[in-house]
């Protein structure tokens, strides 16, 4: 009886604790990943790959910005070979994305990066988590022979400077990048 009560107390104590900045960043990354995956699968059900390109062009940034606002932190996706110029990495992100690319050449897998940085006198926790390419992504990010003519046409219409094709399964596509203000 006594043991049960203390387990309950412990559970309440853990539950009522404020999440740490690190927990806020990592759960935001997991949850945004789910939000975007859900969005993509609904769009593909309705409009196939080409239709999904069109709705992604309209919705992916909006959904990401809304999610950021809701969580009270900055989160987005970035890539050295970005499709949307808004996903171009900043200096800190570029440095780590390039380090991961060098590791990949050496056969090493990319591991998430966490760093406390000071910008304009304020401290932030920055977290960068790798995104790798899966088979389902090939129709929109794969080599030219894997991308349908209608998909290519939709990509050209929305992203005339698209850099985000030619990927193979397992390759590093980019990263989730989260920035949490520290007290
Ligand atoms: C139906 C086509 C389609 C599929 C399938 C698709 N993507 Fe994309 N992807 C896009 C479009 C369109 C954008 C640009 C969205 C925007 O404007 O913000 C994009 C952007 C991205 C970005 C942000 C960086 C950038 O290039 O702008 C990442 C990372 C990404 N995709 C990863 C993936 C991964 C991983 C998969 C598979 C799980 C995948 N995508 C499947 C169409 C697709």
Q: Is 46 in the pocket of ligand 1 (CB under 6 A)?
A: no
- E-only strand ranges, the chain: 74-78, 113-119, 122-132, 172-181
Taking phi over 0 as left and psi of -120 to 50 as alpha, with beta for the rest, 72 belongs to: left
- Digit-coded pLDDT (tens) for 16-54: 678 999 999 999 999 999 999 999 999 999 999 999 999
Centroid of ligand 1 to alpha carbon of 35 (angstroms): 13
Res. 15 pLDDT band, cuts 50 70 90: low
Average predicted confidence (pLDDT) for the chain: 94
Whose C-alpha lies nearest to ligand 1, atom 20?
Answer: 83
Question: Domains along the chain?
Answer: 21-181 (3.30.450)
With a cut of 90, say whether residue 146 has pLDDT above it.
yes
- Digit-coded pLDDT (tens) for 96-115: 999 999 999 999 999 999 99
């Amino acid at each position: 009886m006594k043991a049960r009560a203390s387990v309950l107390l412990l559970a309440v104590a853990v539950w009522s604790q404020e999440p740490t900045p690190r927990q806020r960043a990592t759960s935001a990354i997991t949850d945004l990943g789910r939000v975007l995956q859900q969005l993509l699968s609904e769009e593909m059900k309705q409009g196939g790959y080409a239709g999904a390109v069109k709705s992604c062009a309209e919705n992916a940034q909006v959904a990401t910005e809304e999610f950021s606002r809701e969580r009270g932190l900055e989160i987005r996706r970035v890539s050295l070979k970005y499709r949307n110029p808004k996903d171009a990495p900043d200096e800190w992100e570029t440095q780590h994305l390039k380090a991961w690319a060098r590791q990949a050449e050496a056969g090493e897998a990319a591991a998430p990066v966490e760093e406390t940085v000071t910008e304009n006198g304020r401290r932030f926790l920055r977290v960068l988590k790798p995104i790798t390419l899966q088979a389902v992504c090939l129709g929109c990010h794969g080599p030219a022979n894997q991308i349908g003519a209608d998909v290519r046409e939709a990509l050209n219409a929305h992203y005339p400077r698209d850099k985000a094709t030619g990927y193979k399964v397992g390759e590093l596509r980019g990263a989730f990048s989260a920035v949490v203000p520290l007290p």
